[in-house]
Structure 1
Amino acid sequence: MLTQTKKEFIEFMVGADVLRFGQFKTKSGRLSPYFVNTGNYKTGAQSSALGSFYAKLIKETCGDGFDAMFGPAYKGIPLATSAAGALAREYGIDKPFFFNRKEAKDHGEGGSLVGYQPKDGDRIIIIEDVITAGTAVRETIPVLKAAADVQVRDMFISVNRCEVGQNPGKTAVMEVKEQFGIDVHAIVDVTDIREYLEQAGGYEDVLRLMDSYMEQYCVF
């Protein structure tokens, strides 16, 4: 269902040139008629607004029932930072955040994690941009588990593409739940985007390509 918040978020992504339409190759190698590039957020106002959208979903989903927020390098870093700021500013939920380096630091204190240092038993939530085939999640969990015996039960993303993962008939989100026990929560999913475009009008060509792509790759 296309709620007002979802509509506002889609318009926000389009306005920031983050949600784009055309032909794009995804991380999974598929040629998609739409693409979400959170790397295109580039202003303070955009970062603040983005954090508010994430914070609202986090607050509604788990309140303050977690210990820290993890943003996987690289795009997850500003997402976790802005979400943490918005949670503190708007809901009084002040939680630490941390992220990883792609390469471990070999000087100073060393290590691959920056910010909060997780402890055994910590409840960690992951802040990411999108899930297509679940590749990034499978790279992230070993990083967290190598740091401490943490619990990861929730992950928050901008867009759920609802696409099949590594197994026929199952989305990457379903596989992440089965493999890691993580519930993935999205601000919007591909059906919301499609519904928005249909209501807005003028996107007939894009809708035709999206329908074809969704029929081939999506599971609902």
Structure 2
Amino acid sequence: MPESSSVPTEREQLLNRLANLAYRRGDFTLASGRKSEHYVNCKPVSLSGSGLALISRAMLTHVEADAVAVAGLTLGADPLVSGVAMAAADRGRELDALIVRKEAKGHGTGAWLEGPLPAPGALITVLEDVVTTGGSSLKAVRQLRDAGYKVNRVVTIVDREEGGDAAMTADNLELISLYKLSEIAAFTPA
């Protein structure tokens, strides 16, 4: 009887890429200043065409149906917002991409936000590559809310499980993660 080989799902394919290309074990200092033996840098996956396609399709399923745009703090979210907007267009959905600067532009309009700005009051979903304490995501949310937009949800590729979820809840935000750090750290290829 021939061996049955199953084709990995897109979720499994993405988990494999994250575990092999984005995850490292060692001694690291994180953006939050915390020390950790786990390091996750999603850029080797999100900056590859096939990796971004997998991420974008997965994230799009968690963007609110009435959201008119996705946004995120530069640099980690730059490919994510563009990829999710393109994945939406491939499915016939109009969804714009916005980039939130880390600081106001030093010239011209002094803008914090880049992209086709929706009308005030519009719903925007925030995208993030990795959430640790939630600080970067909350910075993006604050800028968007200060600009008059509604934000209820943050979608991240990886939740490091270090308080980000509680920080989001305290700010009336829902955090949805494609993966938990524990899942990536425990991954063993089949």
Q: Aligned residue for 2:39? A: 35
Q: Aligned residue for 1:212? A: none
CA–CA distance in structure 1, aligned partners of residues 109 and 185 of structure 2 = 48
Instruction: Identify which range, 27-36 or 99-108, moves more after superposition.
Output: 99-108
Aligned-residue identity in percent: 24
Q: Aligned residue for 2:60? A: 58
What is the correspondence of 1:135-154 to structure 2 with a 5 Å cutoff?
135-148=135-148, 150-154=149-153
Aligned to 1:65, what secondary structure does the other structure show? coil
CA–CA distance in structure 2, aligned partners of residues 38 and 57 of structure 1 = 14
Aligned CA distance change for structure 1 residues 42 and 123 (closer, same or farther; 3 Å): closer
Aligned CA distance change for structure 1 residues 180 and 47 (closer, same or farther; 3 Å): farther
RMSD (Å) for aligned C-alpha atoms: 2.5
Aligned CA distance change for structure 1 residues 140 and 63 (closer, same or farther; 3 Å): closer
Amino acid in structure 2 at the alignment position of 1:26: L
The answer (yes or no) to whether the contact 2:102–2:112 under 8 Å persists in 1 is yes
Deviation at residue 63 of structure 1 after TM alignment: 5.7
The answer (yes or no) to whether the contact 1:160–1:189 under 8 Å persists in 2 is yes
Instruction: Identify which range, 69-78 or 17-26, moves more after superposition.
Output: 17-26
Deviation at residue 55 of structure 1 after TM alignment: 2.6
Q: Number of matched residues?
A: 183
| Structure-2-length-normalised TM-score | 0.82
Deviation at residue 48 of structure 1 after TM alignment: 4.4
Query: Which consecutive aligned stretches of 4+ in structure 1 deviate over 6 angstroms post-superposition?
Result: none
What is the correspondence of 1:1-220 to structure 2 with a 5 Å cutoff?
4-15=9-20, 17-41=21-45, 46-59=48-61, 61-62=62-63, 64-89=65-90, 91-148=91-148, 150-163=149-162, 171-177=163-169, 179-197=170-188, 200=189
Deviation at residue 175 of structure 1 after TM alignment: 2.3
List runs of 5+ in structure 1 lacking aligned partners. Answer: 164-170, 202-220
Deviation at residue 20 of structure 1 after TM alignment: 2.0
Aligned to 1:104, what secondary structure does the other structure show? coil
CA–CA distance in structure 2, aligned partners of residues 87 and 52 of structure 1 = 13
